[in-house]
Amino acid sequence: MNQVALLLFALGWLCQAALSDRIGNETLLKKNLMRGYDRTVLPTTKINLPVLVNFGTRVVRIIEIDEVRQSIQLYLWGRQTWNDPRLAWNSSEYEGITDINIMSYEIWLPDTTLYSRLPPENFAQIPVSCGLSSKGVVTWLSPIQLASTCIMYLRSYPSDQQTCTFVFGSWGNDGGKIDYSMPPIADATGDYIKNGQWNLVDLNITRHSLKYSCCPNPYIDITYTLKVERDQRYPILNFVVPSVLLSILSILTFLLPPESGERITLSITILLSTTLFQQLTASLIPPSQVPVISLFYFSSLLMNCLSLVATTIILRSFFHTSETRMNRRLYKVGVIWLGCLMRCQCTSRRSKVQQSNSSGSTEGIVNTSEEKEIAVISSPENQREVRKRKATQHSSHEEQRAKYKEEWLELVIILDRFCLFIFSMLTVVTWTVIWVH
């Protein structure tokens, strides 16, 4: 029992001693490496030899795409490796230590910058723990949240595809000082998490060497070209489908009977609802662009306004006073010609001759009524005949008013059918032209 306890004590003492040696050797190693180290000097042994930086990222998630601000936010995993000969050591001198970790603010870092970045600060300024091997190879690993500008073309919204370009490179050092290369296996989407609004279509990575007018040497950059496609389900279900249904309802208002009293209210409600959806869509689009869906909403608003005007005219004709006879030109165009075009059976045309004859006979009765009435009153035996003539005059007047009213009702029916046909055709043609275009 005592031998087992002594053995365990010996093992614990050896582990503690080994750990103490590891801490002491690593502390001594870092102290020796940092002695006289200047993090502002390029880690190269030759003047004309640039520092080769292997740069790569993996796209993890598309956080947000803002169409109004023309910007995109991404979550990436960044990786940079380079060789710093000042940080190399002989592992045999430090009890076989071949790699350590060191903070990024203690060593030289390449000033890799996203050229089109938006605030906050540059990702290279974030302090991270870098891996360092005995051969002087530095490995920089860090999660990155980037905000970048992205020019978007929203003409075909909501069935649009957008292409965003991310250019990574040194901002203050040309290709003669820092050179960039891509990893041998550039699988940048292996850990991608799908976005609910945008689908990742393609990601292309290329290396460029561009010469600018400011500097004699070219600048090296790594360019990521990201192509995304909008998921159409949300905008179609929430913006397009309601507008189409409202346009159909604006046409169906001509099927409501005029005496219902709800046609104007329904038309105004549809107009306001379409305006609301148009404003919601406009808030998602930059004012410098006019997408197809905006033309669609504009055509819907125009159709609703014209439908409201037509409904007002039809209701004015329906509630027209029966004391006024319809203008003969209006009767000929609206009832006869338009009625035949819409295949409506016009009963007033069949009674047109009877109406003119009854009007003439009524005028004769009215003109001679006073003379006959005087003669009749002077004779008590003819009182019954006087009452009979007055009843005949009143009946003729009521029949005349009923015929005037019938003409206006026929005009209302024909106009309803005509507007239903015209607005249906205009709506279908407008939708077809806009979406095909």
H/E stretch holding 139:
strand 137-149
Query: If you average pLDDT over residues 61-67, what whole number do you get?
Result: 91
pLDDT confidence bin for 333, thresholds 50/70/90 = low
Query: What is the distance between the alpha carbons of residues 208 and 224, in angstroms, rounded to a whole number?
Result: 11
> Which one has a higher pLDDT value, 315 or 380?
315
Write down the pLDDT at residue 324: 67
Beta bridge partners of 147: 73
Q: Using CA atoms in the order 233, 236, 238, 239, what is the torsion angle rounded to 10 degrees?
A: 160
End-to-end C-alpha distance for the chain, whole angstroms: 92
To the nearest whole percent, how much of the chain has pLDDT over 90? 24
pLDDT of residue 329: 74
Residues 423 and 250 sit within 8 Å (Cβ to Cβ): yes
Q: What is the mean pLDDT of residues 352-368?
A: 41
Query: Measuring CA to CA, which residue among 222, 244, 238, 346 is closest to residue 303?
Result: 244
Q: What is the largest CA-CA distance in the chain?
A: 159
Kindly tell me the burial class for residue 286, based on how many C-beta atoms sit within 10 Å of its own C-beta (0-12, 13-18, 19 or more).
middle
State the pTM of this model.
0.71
- Residues with Cβ within 8 Å of residue 208, at least 6 apart in sequence: 167, 220, 221, 222, 223
Q: pLDDT (tens digit, 9 = 90+) per residue, 377-387?
A: 445 555 556 55
Q: Does pLDDT of 10 surpass 60?
A: no
pLDDT (0 to 100) of residue 186: 59
Residue 224 CB coordination number (10 Å): 21
pLDDT tens digits, one per residue of 160-193: 899 999 999 998 888 889 999 988 765 677 788 8
Q: Where are the beta strands (DSSP E) in 27-123?
A: 51-66, 71-83, 99-103, 112-114
Which run of H or E residues covers position 251?
A: helix 241-252
What b/e sequence results for 191-200 when a residue is b if at least 16 CB atoms lie within 10 Å of its CB, and e otherwise? eeeeeeebeb
What integer best gives the mean pLDDT of the chain?
Answer: 79
In this structure, of 143-157, 347-361, 394-408, 415-429, the range with the lowest mean pLDDT score is: 347-361
Q: Give the β-pairing of 71-83 and 51-66.
A: antiparallel
Instruction: Check residue 363 and give its pLDDT.
Output: 41
Residues β-bridged to residue 203: 226
In CATH terms, the fold of domain 37-231 is: Acetylcholine Binding Protein; Chain: A, (2.70.170)
Q: How far apart are CA 179 and CA 315, in angstroms?
A: 79
Angle, nearest 10°, between helix axes 263-282 and 241-252? 160
pLDDT over threshold 60, residue 236: yes
Q: What is the pLDDT of residue 391?
A: 56
